A and B are shown apart, each in its own frame.
Chain A
Amino acid sequence: MRRNAVVVLGLVIGITLMLWSGVMAYRERRAASMQAPQPVALVPEGANPDTVDAASADPNSPQAQGLPDMRGKLAPGFTLKTPEGKSVSLADYKGKAVLINFWATWCAPCKLEMPWLIDLQKQYAAQGFTVLGVSEDDPPFAQVGVFAQKMGVNYPVVVANDAVNHAYGNVDGLPTSYYVGRDGKIVAETAGLISKDDIEANIKKILATKG
């Protein structure tokens, strides 16, 4: 009789733990999906954008794209060359809020977000913010400079190398952005095109950090 009571108690504890764990996991997933930046939909010509489900795109979280979660970690330092051959280091921006934006001239979503980055650079530069564009183009790099100039880019652009790609989680899909606070720590990371509002919200977060 006593043994039966122990068994029943054990079963109840086990099942309760499993149910509680499931509920917590569901809540966490739900909260994460509500906080995740929404991907921007691509619409066939002639179709109504409102009927295209942006959420049907691949999950936009950096982790879903294979990036490691680097939030809270110090942004890996690097020194890279501009297309013109000038060296630029992340350390040059010590104490500033930096948006490291990996992009390429052949990346259409990157081209679409560029005017937003230009606007945001204008808007927040005086508060100690800069975008740092890191191009993933292959040589010749002169085309990167020409492209950036043509787009009216008003922030520094450098050319990536294998070491920086590796340090930032083997950057592959573009655009990929890391938002670095004034203390040098990564506050947010995004993979893929997100809205200007989402980019701005992340910029506000890094501007709020203390050096």
Chain B
Amino acid sequence: MRSNIQRKRSGSVGVLFAFFCAAGAGLLWAQQSGWQPHDAGLGLRGASSAEKGWVQLESPTQIALQPRRAQTVDLEFLIQDGLHINAHQPRSPYLIPTTLTLSAPAGVRVLGVEYPQAKDYHFAFSPKDALSVYTGSLHILVHLRAQPGAFAMPASLRYQACDNHMCNPPKTLTFTLHGVAK
């Protein structure tokens, strides 16, 4: 009985010993080979990030309106932390403006789209080259009037995001506003 317990103990100790040796050897191999616990081929440019985009719609896509009255819908977008997107009217014609496009269905009239005031930034070494950008939470106001009934209005936000030193390619966030005017 006692020898059985001793055998079990020595077996456990052996397993423990083997575990530590294997762990040490594994870590040593990881260090030497430069292996990292993630796919270096993905990162920020990875499919998930790129497909998801850098701006998300925060507002609900369901809206309720009073019929035949001019009303304002506040669409809130969230710009990924650390990134900025160009203002609707950037300082250079080459920069891609942030633009909301709405395809008004029959019975809905878009009276106007109002963009917020942008913030000015400049590069540390180049104060003259200011950039007019949005960061964080972006509220775009849509003024519209709808006839009674339900409607679906496809919309898209085209933007181009950069961080402090790098720019991502232009992207378009598409969504549909589902409204009821009653």
Q: Which residues of B contact A44 (CB under 8 A)?
A: 119-121
Can you list 7 A-B pairs with a CB-CB distance of less than 8 A?
Answer: A45-B119, A45-B121, A45-B122, A65-B43, A112-B123, A172-B50, A192-B165
Q: How far is the CB of B129 from chain A (nearest CB, A)?
A: 7
Q: How many residues of B contact A (CB 8 A)?
A: 50
Please tell me if the beta carbons of A104 and B167 are within 8 angstroms of each other in the complex: yes
- The residues of A with any CB-CB pair to B shorter than 8 Å are 3, 6-7, 10-11, 13-18, 20-22, 24-25, 39-45, 49, 52, 54, 57-58, 60, 63-69, 104-112, 136, 143, 147, 170, 172-175, 191-195
Please tell me if the beta carbons of A21 and B31 are within 8 angstroms of each other in the complex: yes
User: Using a CB-CB cutoff of 8 Å, which residues 41-73 of chain B contact chain A?
Assistant: 41-46, 50
Q: How far is the CB of B155 from chain A (nearest CB, A)?
A: 22
Counting from the closest, the 5 A-B pairs by CB-CB distance are: A14-B20, A17-B24, A66-B45, A192-B166, A10-B17
A interface footprint on B16-43 (CB within 8 Å = 1, 0 otherwise)? 1101110111011011000000001111
Q: Which residues of A contact B19 (CB under 8 A)?
A: 14
Please tell me if the beta carbons of A40 and B165 are within 8 angstroms of each other in the complex: yes
Q: Which residues of B contact A22 (CB under 8 A)?
A: 27
Residue of B nearest to A63 (CB): B40
| Docked CA distance A5–B143 (Å) | 81
Q: Which of B105-113, B146-154, B156-164, B173-181 contacts A (4 or more CB under 8 A)?
A: B156-164
Choice from B94, B120, B163, B167 contacting A45 with Cβ under 8 Å: B120
Choice from A41, A43, A105, A193 contacting B166 with Cβ under 8 Å: A193
Given known pairs A147-B94, A173-B167, A175-B166, the reply for A21 and B41 (CB within 8 Å) is no
Given known pairs A64-B43, A110-B167, A173-B167, the reply for A18 and B23 (CB within 8 Å) is yes
Q: How far is the CB of A104 from chain B (nearest CB, A)?
A: 7
Please tell me if the beta carbons of B165 and A39 are within 8 angstroms of each other in the complex: yes
| Docked CA distance A108–B43 (Å) | 23
Given known pairs A43-B121, A65-B43, A66-B43, the reply for A57 and B164 (CB within 8 Å) is yes
Q: How far is the CB of B104 from chain A (nearest CB, A)?
A: 27
Please tell me if the beta carbons of A17 and B28 are within 8 angstroms of each other in the complex: yes
Please tell me if the beta carbons of A17 and B27 are within 8 angstroms of each other in the complex: yes
Choice from B20, B25, B123 contacting A41 with Cβ under 8 Å: B123
Please tell me if the beta carbons of B13 and A173 are within 8 angstroms of each other in the complex: no
Q: How far is the CB of A55 from chain B (nearest CB, A)?
A: 10
Q: Which residues of B contact A109 (CB under 8 A)?
A: 123, 162, 165-167
Please tell me if the beta carbons of A21 and B24 are within 8 angstroms of each other in the complex: yes
Please tell me if the beta carbons of A6 and B17 are within 8 angstroms of each other in the complex: yes
User: Using a CB-CB cutoff of 8 Å, which residues 124-144 of chain B contact chain A?
Assistant: 124-127, 129-131
Given known pairs A52-B124, A106-B94, A173-B44, the reply for A45 and B164 (CB within 8 Å) is no
| Docked CA distance A139–B181 (Å) | 41
Q: How far is the CB of B132 from chain A (nearest CB, A)?
A: 10
Choice from A10, A41, A58 contacting B124 with Cβ under 8 Å: A41
